[in-house]
Chains A and B, each alone.
Chain A
Amino acid sequence: DTAVSQTPKYLVTQMGNDKSIKCEQNLGHDTMYWYKQDSKKFLKIMFSYNNKELIINETVPNRFSPKSPDKAHLNLHINSLELGDSAVYFCASSRQESYEQYFGPGTRLTVT
């Protein structure tokens, strides 16, 4: 049973394209997150949603737009992709006020 799943696992696309990454959790958590891991393995939070409401937006360009249709899903849409967007994107979830975050397997995005 997959707790936090992401699709696709790999995404290769050209500059200027628009793409989406999907995330689903079956843990019944009410908080979901997107993190970005760059080529130097540094992890940084991008967004956090609680009960479908945006809570954290860490100075991410407007080209990135998260969407949470329900508590179990948090999708990430990226417009006008740039070379610098190449990274591994991790989705995570947690219970409200809980300390542990469960991570998805990551999506490796490569922009050419």
Chain B
Amino acid sequence: AQKITQTQPGMFVQEKEAVTLDCTYDTSDPSYGLFWYKQPSSGEMIFLIYQGSYDQQNATEGRYSLNFQKARKSANLVISASQLGDSAMYFCAMRELNYGGATNKLIFGTGTLLAVQP
């Protein structure tokens, strides 16, 4: 069965510094996708970044980058130049395809609560 593990329940970072949020995964499928979502205190789920298992390069979206190490089965999120507005819960998730790709579901990790300090 597929599994996502986030071992950091909480993290602190100083404003303007970079921070890495850890995520490891377990799957026997050769084709999979990895995601990071942000959930601020207001509660909505915000998509940040996606990495496909066959992507040759690490995904980047603005200040977010995904450090994808396939052999280690890790997909860490790196946030550069942290801002106060980055304070939120961050979820790593894996896409599991169903029914020949007709639909898919996300399997989530337990989340990391990031606090950016001024």
Chain B interface: which of A16-24, A66-74, A77-85, A100-108?
A: A100-108
Nearest to A9 among chain B residues (CB) is B43
Contacting pair A105 B44 (CB below 8 A): yes
Main secondary structure of the interface of A (DSSP, over half): strand
CB distance from B79 to the nearest CB of A (A): 19
Which residues in A have their C-beta under 8 angstroms from that of B33?
99
Contacting pair A102 B47 (CB below 8 A): yes
Q: How far is the CA of A88 from the CA of B105 in the complex (A)?
A: 18
Contacting pair A41 B111 (CB below 8 A): yes
Interface size class of A (residues with CB under 8 A): 20 to 34
Contacting pair B50 A50 (CB below 8 A): no
Which residues in A have their C-beta under 8 angstroms from that of B104?
31, 48, 94, 99
Q: How far is the CA of A48 from the CA of B104 in the complex (A)?
A: 8
Contacting pair B108 A42 (CB below 8 A): yes
Q: How far is the CA of A109 from the CA of B47 in the complex (A)?
A: 23
Main secondary structure of the interface of B (DSSP, over half): strand
B89 interface hit (Cβ, 8 Å): yes
Which residues in A have their C-beta under 8 angstroms from that of B111?
41-42
Contacting pair B43 A101 (CB below 8 A): no
Chain B CB count within 10 A is highest, among A50, A88, A101, for A101
Which residues in A have their C-beta under 8 angstroms from that of B45?
90, 92, 103, 106
Contacting pair A99 B52 (CB below 8 A): yes
A1 interface hit (Cβ, 8 Å): no
Contacting pair A105 B105 (CB below 8 A): no
Pairs across A and B, CB under 8 Å, 23 listed: A31-B104, A35-B106, A40-B110, A41-B89, A41-B110, A41-B111, A42-B111, A45-B106, A48-B103, A50-B102, A50-B103, A55-B98, A55-B102, A56-B98, A56-B103, A90-B45, A96-B101, A96-B103, A99-B52, A100-B47, A101-B47, A103-B44, A103-B46
